[in-house]
A and B are shown apart, each in its own frame.
Chain A
Amino acid sequence: MKPMRLATLRALGAAVMVGTMSLPALAQQQPAPPAAPASATFDAIKARGTLSCGVNTGLAGFAQPDSQGRWQGFDVEYCRALAVALFNDASKVRYVPTTAQNRFTALQSGEIDVLPRNTTATLSRDTSLGLDFPAVNFYDGQGFMVKASLGVKSAKELDGATVCVQPGTTTEQNLTDWARANNVKFTPVIIERLEELVSAYVAGRCDAYTTDVSGLAATRSAQPKPEDHVILPEVISKEPLALGVRHGDQRWADLVRWTHNLLLAAEEFGITTANVDKAVADDQRPEVQRIVGKTGGLGAMLGVDNLWAVRVIKATGNYGEIFERHLKPLGIQRGPNAQWTNGGLQYSFPFR
């Protein structure tokens, strides 16, 4: 949906409401609602006292309720970190489970404030959906998994193979694109439901199974003998999974961006939940001093107080700790999500 069409829809909706209620006071507001001021979301969250966070309805490692109904996962930690930054209380989050279909509407309509829901940042989502993606918290990409007994070492050896794939997703398009570009012929086996797809692969109905690498790793680790399955080195698409916010709300986007940067910087400088107090007390590195709020007054610039970073790190740990806690047990390697100092893509902007 284009923003213009969205505005028209809203105006229409407002007009219908005005028409039915025929309130003169509302009628004056009838010309399409004005663009939100730059800090509307930020102030609204502050006033409301809770952060509305759109998460997946259930994706292993990223967002899932545990046996006691508490949300856990990599994406969920970002909700908690933001709540801690704003309110110094990780429990002040409303988790709104969103499906692939209603996630963007939920964000556009203001039902949620931020969308950490393994959402790939793309040009059209950024522009015509009226969203912004301030931070990429996980770099994913589509890969292949095959049985180790096949002895295949590269996806290019899969010529003529049958490949299990879900329909209607970008996964299927990526597969077709890559096969054409590399002159490899696949027979796709298309199955809608993920469990059936995986069992079809395990049962040998297809030679290879393709989806995002994080998904492959999760599936592999759930098998009785993970070592029987190999994830091939080719990554055939870019899936930067990003935190989404509404477009045009800069102050809120800034806080989201810098909370992610904070988690990265904390890992880079070796600040963890365990040693953050010690870092505050006697770490002399200038950037660390600025991060923990001893100098620079950076927190105030973001609209939170200067100790926000210390609180966030205490509550969630740094990026590496979050990764270890939620994604490592699934067998997901750091790979492209390693720190830039280790050859990865995760790179914090300087705290200055």
Chain B
Amino acid sequence: MADIAAEASAPRPVADAALAPRRPPLLQVGPLAWARANLFSSWISTAVTLALSYLLIRWTVGFIDWAFVKAIWSVPVTPQGAQTQACRALAGSGACWAVVTEKHRFILFGTYPYEQHWRPALVCLLFVGLYIVSAMRRFWRPALALVWLATLTVIGILMWGGVLGMPYVPQERWGGLVITLILSTFGIAFAFPLSILVALGRRSKMPAIKMLCVVYVELIRGVPLISLLFMASVMFPLFLPEGINIDKLLRAQIAIILFAAAYLAEVVRAGLQALPRGQYEAADALGLSYWQKTGFIIMPQALRLVIPPLVNTFIGFFKDTSLVLIIGIFDLLTAGKTAIVEPAWQGFGIEIYVTVGAIYFVFCFAMSRYSQNLEAELNRHRVR
């Protein structure tokens, strides 16, 4: 008995260990295992990993060194101009963020009157606010169209002025980020509805409308945006009778809308064609009219299908607006380039391009992330 008792009180390591949850071997799961499977699975893989991480670390260290450690954030500005000798002395070993410090207002707002910069600044915030509100699904109701209309009106009033004690500012003086936002927002806002009509028109059974839409899409898609802008800027004024001038910005805006609409129309058409025939037939069977069918049945499904290419096109157009530089409009990128024309600041292009690139990235990345969420949410029923 004593033997049995002794045996019972004695530790039973094997059985206890089996009861407690055990960690799986480190080399089978977890980050180490992942690294082993993906980065060090063979000697070639190991060599590539080592080489790449060496380059990555070196580059990161170099970049941090350049952008932060050795960087100069401001230089004295005297009435004779900016004293950039300190920056020049770096000879490229450190960033001269002083150029951004000095020129950031020009890059953001262009030649807009300096004391009135709060107006374009407010406009930029309004645009961002408009994007955020439009992005939230709980605001997706007809009143949103009114919000857009109201905001765009306020933006127009702020930019032009001439009322409420704000001095009038003609369009030539607008510039920088505001121009980029105006061109892309108005461009997409007008092009998107137009593109839906064109896409529907292209699938229409009425030959005249179908023909017109096909010709429009093929003509616009057949030429590069830059040539459309040239047409708008160089050819179009010659067609107008003398004395009539349509503003350069408006001409560029119309060219961008027409161009974007042609591309978006094809994306939307892809969605229409991807929809099973049964959906059309079911809608017809319910006795819905053409517009009811399109509005309630077809479009919601078709657009949902084409969110990735739609956003792809939006992002493309956001960046394409920088092409207006060839017709002398100061968008974000052109304003950045113009900022370094001044002799004192010549040669600090990298800092400017990094800054402008970062601004573009923030907008484009936000669009891309949002579209991924939207896609996941809207297509939840399709995930199996």
Contacts and interface: CB of A to CB of B under 8 A. Distances in A.
Given A65-B111, A67-B103, A111 B240 contact: no
B242 interface: yes
Interface in B221-243: 230, 233-235, 237-243
Interface in B337-361: 337-339, 341-343, 346-347, 349
Query: Which applies to chain B's interface (DSSP): helix, strand, loop or mixed?
Result: helix
Main SS class of interface, A: mixed
Interface in A26-47: 33, 36, 44
Contacts of A61: 343
B81 interface: yes
Contacts of A36: 242
B289 interface: no
Interface of A: 1, 6, 9-10, 12-14, 16-17, 33, 36, 44, 57-61, 64-71, 94-99, 101-102, 105-106, 108-111, 195, 218, 221-222, 224, 329-330
A98 B329 CA distance: 8
B330 A97 contact: yes
Given A9-B238, A10-B239, A94-B172, A58 B245 contact: no
Contacts of B237: 105-106, 108-109, 111
A13 B240 contact: yes
B248 A224 contact: no
A106 B233 CA distance: 8
Q: How large is the interface on B (under 10, 10 to 19, 20 to 34, 35 or more residues)?
A: 35 or more
Interface of B: 80-81, 88, 91, 102-103, 105-106, 109-114, 170, 172-173, 175, 230, 233-235, 237-243, 245, 248, 325-330, 334, 337-339, 341-343, 346-347, 349
Given A97-B328, A102-B328, A105-B234, A218 B343 contact: yes
B354 to A, nearest CB: 15
A224 B241 CA distance: 52
5 contacts: A58-B341, A66-B106, A69-B109, A99-B326, A101-B230
Given A58-B338, A105-B237, 11 more contacts: A13-B238, A57-B328, A60-B342, A60-B346, A64-B338, A68-B114, A71-B111, A95-B172, A99-B326, A224-B88, A330-B343
Contacts of A221: 343
B327 A13 contact: no
